[in-house]
C-alpha cells in the first residue's frame, strides 16, 4: 500500500470510485486503446470504470508515428482532436534509402480508400475533424487529396486521450494497480481486484472486463496460458534535437546491405526520433560504440551533427520488438484487446492503427448490446475476432515480412531486399499498392499476398539481369531458393493471422 505522502499527490477524483456499483464495463489500462474503448462505450450509454496504475504523463519511445489508418479510426471514434495542440508533425509519406539511393513514396489518394465511417452516438459537433493549431492545419488534413499520418510525442497524445475520457459523465476514473481479474466458480470473469493508494485492495464488479494493459500485459494469459509474445529483435532509440531531416514531413527508412534498418521521423518541431534496429533481443554490450561504428556510417549526412550529439549525451533507450498473433476472446465476461491481444513488428508503425481500428470495430460490434446478456456479448466477441482479421492481418503480416527483408542477413533475403527497392523505383502501382497497405487504408490480405510475390518475382528477374547470360544456370537455381525464401517469410504469418 502507498504511504500517505503518495495519497496526497493523487487527485481525489481518481480515488473515489465506488466498489458498490456494478459497472457495465471495467477497462484495465488507459494507454492508447483503453480511453477509446471507455469513451466509445460511455457515449453508447454504458457505465464504465477505467483503471490506470499511473495517470501522470508517460515517457515512451513507442507509439509516436500514427499511420493514416489510425487517424481514420480516430475520426470514426470522434476523437481525432487528440492530435491537436501537442506540436504534432504531419506526415505525408515515406523516403526509403537503400545504400544511399532514395525513393520518395507519398501516401495514397483519399479517393482510393473507402469513406471514413462515422460511428453512431460517437461522432457529433465536428469531433471527427481536426482543428487549427500551431502545426496541424484544417486545410491540409481535411482538404488535401492524399491521406496523412502524424508524428507526436507519445505522452502528449496520450494525455489528450485521457482528457477526452475524463470529460465523459458515464466514465469513472480510478488510479490503482489491478492485481487480479476476478472469476466466478463457473470460470466466468466478473470484475477486477484493485490495490488503491490509501484504500487497500478492493473488488470491482462488471458485466464485461476489457484488458487493455499493453505490450507488457499481465493479464493476457487470462485468455489462454500460451498467449505469450515472442521477441526476436530490438530497437535502440534516441531523440535528435533540431535535426536536419532529409525529407520534411516524411518518415525515413534507411536500408543497406551491410546494416540493420534505421527509422527516422519528427515528433515535434524540435525533436526527431531515431530507432536503430538490432537483430537480437539481447543488445550489444557497448551500445555507444555500436551506434558510432554500425549505424552512423550509413546515415544521411544532414543527420550526423544531431546524431553525434545524441550519442555523446548517451540518452538512448531500448525496446524489445515482439510478435503475438491474436487469439479469440472465448472467456465469458472478458475481452482482451490492443497490444495485450495482438502485436506485430514496429518497423511499419502500424501498432496504433491496428489498436484503434480494433477499438472502433469493438464499439460497433458490442456498443449497443446489453452487457448483462453475457452469452450474446460473447457471441458478438467471436464475430469481432473474425471481422478484425481482414484489416489487422495486412498490417501484421506486412510488418514481419518487411522486417525480414529490410534486416536481411541471409543471402537470398538480400536479393529480395534489393528487388524490393528496385520495385519501388518503378513508381506507379509499384508504390501505390505497397504504401496503401503500409498506411492502413487497403485491408485486403490476398491482394497483399499477390503484391508480395510480385516483388519476389521481380527480385528473381533482377537477379537474372545481374547474372547475365553466363550466369543463367546459377540464376535459375537461385530463383527457386529466392521463391522458397519469400514463401518462408510470408506464408506462415499469413496463416497464423487468418486461420490460426
Three-state DSSP at 55 gives coil
Structure confidence at residue 497 (pLDDT): 93
In tens, the pLDDT along 72-117 reads 999 999 999 999 999 999 999 999 999 999 999 999 999 999 999 9
343 bridge partner residues? 324
Residue 248's Cβ-count burial label (10 Å; 0-12, 13-18, 19+) is exposed
For residues 357 and 342, the answer to whether their CB atoms sit within 8 Å is no
Is the domain spanning 4-59+159-227+323-389 CATH 3.40.190.10? The answer is no
Class of domain 230-322: alpha beta
Q: Cα separation of 180 and 199, whole Å?
A: 16
The mean per-residue pLDDT over the stretch 399-415 comes to: 94
**CATH code 3.50.50.60 region(s) in the chain:** 4-59+159-227+323-389
In this prediction, residue 3 carries a pLDDT of 44
Res 6: pLDDT: 44
**Ranges for all domains in the chain classified under CATH 3.30.70:** 230-322
Closest CA to 209 of 219, 224, 217: 219
Helix (H) or strand (E) holding 26: strand 22-28
Q: What is the pLDDT of residue 96?
A: 98
Higher pLDDT among residues 437 and 470, named by residue? 437
Cα distance between residue 203 and residue 180, in whole Å: 9
pLDDT at site 9? 79
Cα angle 202, 50, 193; round to 5: 25
Mean pLDDT of 350-378: 98
Query: For the purposes of burial, counting CB atoms within 10 Å of the CB of 143, is it exposed (0-12), middle (13-18) or buried (19 or more)?
Result: exposed
Predicted local distance difference test score (pLDDT) of residue 499: 83
pLDDT tens for each residue of 281-320: 999 999 999 999 999 999 999 999 999 999 999 999 999 9
| pLDDT (tens digit per residue) in 410-461 | 999 999 999 999 999 999 999 999 999 999 999 999 999 999 999 999 999 9
Q: Of the candidates 338, 441, 335, which has an alpha carbon nearest to the alpha carbon of residue 381?
A: 335
User: Mind listing the pLDDT tens digit for each residue in 196-251?
Assistant: 999 999 999 999 999 999 999 999 999 999 999 999 999 999 999 999 999 999 99
How much is the average pLDDT of 333-358? 97
Return mean pLDDT, the chain.
Answer: 95
Q: Which residues contact 308 (CB under 8 A, 6 or more apart)?
A: 296
The sign one gets for the Cα dihedral 486, 346, 380, 365 is negative
Residue 500 confidence (pLDDT):
64
pLDDT of residue 8: 52
Across 16-20, average pLDDT: 96
| Distance separating alpha carbons of residues 76 and 80, to the nearest angstrom | 8
Give the contacts of 172 (CB within 8 A, at least 6 positions apart): 17, 18, 21, 23, 47, 48, 49, 50
Residue 400 has phi, psi (to 5 degrees) of: -70, -45
Amino acid at each position: 500500500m502507498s504511504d500517505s505522502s503518495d495519497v496526497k499527490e493523487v487527485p481525489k477524483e481518481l480515488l473515489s470510485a465506488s466498489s458498490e456499483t456494478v459497472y457495465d464495463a471495467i477497462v484495465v489500462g488507459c494507454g492508447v486503446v483503453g480511453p477509446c474503448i471507455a469513451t466509445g462505450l460511455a457515449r453508447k450509454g454504458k457505465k464504465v470504470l477505467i483503471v490506470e496504475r499511473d495517470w501522470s504523463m508517460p515517457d515512451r519511445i513507442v507509439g509516436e508515428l500514427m499511420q493514416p489508418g489510425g487517424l481514420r479510426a480516430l475520426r470514426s471514434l470522434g476523437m481525432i482532436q487528440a492530435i491537436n495542440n501537442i506540436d504534432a508533425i504531419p506526415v505525408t509519406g515515406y523516403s526509403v534509402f537503400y545504400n544511399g539511393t532514395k525513393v520518395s513514396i507519398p501516401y495514397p489518394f483519399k479517393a482510393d480508400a473507402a469513406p471514413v465511417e462515422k460511428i453512431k452516438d460517437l461522432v457529433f459537433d465536428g469531433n471527427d475533424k481536426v482543428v487549427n493549431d500551431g502545426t496541424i492545419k484544417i486545410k491540409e488534413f481535411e482538404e488535401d487529396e492524399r491521406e496523412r499520418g502524424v508524428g507526436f510525442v507519445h505522452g502528449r497524445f496520450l494525455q489528450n486521450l485521457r482528457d477526452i475520457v475524463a470529460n465523459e459523465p458515464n466514465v469513472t476514473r480510478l488510479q490503482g494497480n489491478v492485481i487480479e481479474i476476478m472469476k466466478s466458480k463457473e470460470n466466468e470473469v466478473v470484475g477486477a481486484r484493485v490495490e488503491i493508494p490509501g484504500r487497500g485492495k478492493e473488488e470491482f464488479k462488471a458485466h464485461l472486463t476489457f484488458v487493455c494493459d499493453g505490450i507488457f500485459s499481465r493479464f493476457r494469459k487470462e485468455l489462454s496460458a500460451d498467449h505469450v509474445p515472442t521477441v526476436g529483435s530490438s530497437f535502440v532509440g534516441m531523440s535528435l534535437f533540431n535535426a536536419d531531416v532529409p525529407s520534411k514531413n516524411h518518415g525515413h527508412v534507411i536500408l543497406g546491405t551491410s546494416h540493420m534498418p534505421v527509422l527516422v521521423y519528427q515528433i515535434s518541431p524540435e525533436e526527431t526520433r531515431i530507432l536503430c534496429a538490432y537483430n537480437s533481443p539481447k543488445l550489444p554490450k557497448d551500445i555507444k560504440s555500436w551506434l558510432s561504428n554500425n549505424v552512423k556510417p550509413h546515415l544521411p549526412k544532414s543527420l550526423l551533427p544531431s546524431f553525434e550529439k545524441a550519442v555523446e549525451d548517451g540518452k538512448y533507450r531500448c525496446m524489445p520488438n515482439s510478435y503475438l498473433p491474436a487469439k479469440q476472446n472465448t472467456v465469458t465476461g472478458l475481452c482482451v484487446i490492443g497490444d495485450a491481444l495482438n502485436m506485430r513488428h514496429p518497423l511499419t508503425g502500424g501498432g496504433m492503427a491496428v489498436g484503434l481500428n480494433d477499438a472502433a470495430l469493438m464499439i460497433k460490434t458490442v456498443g449497443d448490446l446489453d452487457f448483462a446478456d453475457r452469452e450474446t456479448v460473447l457471441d458478438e466477441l467471436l464475430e469481432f475476432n473474425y471481422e478484425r482479421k481482414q484489416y489487422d492481418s495486412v498490417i501484421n503480416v506486412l510488418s514481419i515480412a518487411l522486417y525480414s527483408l529490410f534486416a536481411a542477413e541471409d543471402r537470398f533475403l538480400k536479393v529480395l531486399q534489393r528487388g524490393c527497392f528496385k520495385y519501388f523505383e518503378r513508381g506507379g502501382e509499384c508504390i501505390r499498392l505497397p504504401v496503401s497497405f503500409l498506411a492502413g487504408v487497403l485491408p485486403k490480405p490476398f491482394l497483399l499476398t499477390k503484391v508480395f510475390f510480385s516483388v519476389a518475382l521481380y527480385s528473381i528477374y533482377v537477379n537474372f539481369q545481374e547474372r547475365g547470360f553466363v550466369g543463367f544456370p546459377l540464376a535459375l537455381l537461385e530463383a527457386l531458393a529466392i521463391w522458397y525464401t519469400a514463401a518462408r517469410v510470408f506464408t506462415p504469418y499469413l496463416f497464423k493471422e487468418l486461420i490460426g
